[in-house]
Amino acid sequence: MLRRPGSRCAAAGLGLLGLVGAVVSCTFSAERRVLPHELLTPASPEPLTALNVEERLQRGMIPEVVAFLQGPEGRRVPPETAARLLAEAKLESGDFRTAERIAAHVLEKTSRTSLLAEMEWLSSQSAYWRNDFSGAARHAAASREAGRGVPEGWITFLNSGAARNLYGGASAGDRLQLRFRFGRPNLIRLDVAVNGQAARDVILDSGASISLVTESAARRLGLEVVEGAVAPARGLHEKEIPMRFGWARTLAVGGVTLHDVPFGILPDGTLSFETESIGLFSPEGVLGIHFMKEFDFRIEPSERLLKAFRLPPGIARGSPDQNLFFRRLKPMVRASFNRRPWSLFLLDTGSEPTMVTAEGLKANQHADSQPSAPVTIEGIGKAEVSWSKVSNITIGIGRYMVWFKDMVVNEGGDVIGDGIVGMSYLSAFDIEMRFSAMTLVLTRPGDRQSPERSPFEPEPVAPPSG
């Protein structure tokens, strides 16, 4: 994002029921440096206990919480609380079947309405990730009946997928490869075909819970719109935008064709952003995380090259090196903040800037934001806000950390985790996102010939979880 002061930098962070797109009026330095990742010592925070386990789960210590709750010390946690937290941690780890089994056990034992609503919604999310839209609809309806504000239009959409074989047509191990456009704005833009019709400049957007198109694109591409399936999406200022839902018969990307692909449909103009470098930027749509979780990816921004291979249906996800997790229908990456472990950041290939949240600053005991230098953000639905900035921030993932001279403070009311890892961070690396192992591995482009770098091949996978 090297722009002169006052330039406008395009970005978008698009997500179901929490849409935030952005165009930053960059009045701050975009200087950054890649450094070896070094944690403050001691690297481990105080031990997990029955008193802090819930807070630690929210801070991103998900594998540690699972181990604690399943170990002898976990017996000190009240059984209902332990089961609830373990179900949440298993969902976030990608162990969806286990999360649902634990939730079902809680549902059998409790009569508390709030807990019923929570566990039904957790089960709905698990089924959604497993492409079981019938189960997702059933649990979402039960959660709504118990008092959770699940939109009826969302349940209608889920029911419309009950008889569909989502993302069918491609076999496990099938490979896709294609070149993409990157720069002005610094977002990954793909050429795809929907129902046989070409769609250009479709953004690869891991921050979107579902793939999205505009109303005019949905008509041109021949999407099957689900009658009555309308739910509110929220942009900046909590501005609600009506979003419809539909289905593509086929989606072709990089030589791989998938069938029965779900899409959200947004009003025309809501995906458009003004940039100084190119003027109006109006992508027809984005490919979101619900599509992306069907593949393992390697993305090389410097070469404008994307490779991926199809994962087996029902794969048992996770690994000892796991640093990717799911939270609120979005992917999160575990990172250090100013060398302090650990935080969860939204992994968002659909956002150009990398940001920290006000909550993340507070949790990491950092209080040096500068409201005197506001940054103007233009969001979905043309909403605008002015947010502050912080200086001298490092975010560390895996072997590397990136130092930013200035970073935007996301002060929105509906944020997830401690911030957003966007393309201003990721574009310094070759990016390997394995949704099988649930790992994000970043390597420098100069390391491509290193014997230590493993080839991009399918990982040995466990049989489908049952």
Question: What distance, in Å, lies between the first and last C-alpha atoms of the chain?
Answer: 45
Domain coordinates in residue numbering, the chain: 7-41+315-447
Q: What is the length of the chain?
A: 466
CA distance 428 to 197: 33
Residue 332, Cβ neighbours under 10 Å: how many? 24
Q: State the pLDDT confidence band at 387, using cuts at 50, 70 and 90.
A: confident
Sequence-separated (6 or more) residues with CB below 8 Å from residue 53: 65, 68, 69, 77, 85
Say whether pLDDT at 40 is over 70. Answer: yes
Find how far residue 424's CA is from the centre of its chain: 16
Say whether pLDDT at 19 is over 50. Answer: no
Q: State the pLDDT confidence band at 371, using cuts at 50, 70 and 90.
A: very low
**7-41+315-447 maps to which CATH number?**
2.40.70.10
Check residue 205 and give its pLDDT: 95
Residue 366, Cβ neighbours under 10 Å: how many? 17
CB 166 within 8 A of CB 249: no
Q: Is 154 exposed, middle or buried (0-12, 13-18, 19+ CB in 10 A)?
A: buried
Q: What is the pLDDT of residues 198-257, one digit of tens each?
A: 999 999 999 999 999 999 999 999 999 999 999 998 755 556 789 999 999 999 999 999
192: phi then psi, degrees, rounded to nearest 5: -130, 175
Find how far residue 284's CA is from the centre of its chain: 20
Check residue 270 and give its pLDDT: 87
Tell me the mean pLDDT in the region 175-189: 94
Q: What is the pLDDT of residues 89-100, one digit of tens each?
A: 999 999 999 999
Say whether pLDDT at 12 is over 60. Answer: no
Check residue 197 and give its pLDDT: 97
Say whether pLDDT at 21 is over 50. Answer: no
Tell me the mean pLDDT in the region 433-453: 86
By DSSP bridging, strand 256-266 and strand 212-214 are: parallel
Check residue 9 and give its pLDDT: 39
Residue 107, Cβ neighbours under 10 Å: how many? 18
Place of tokens 């990491």: 364
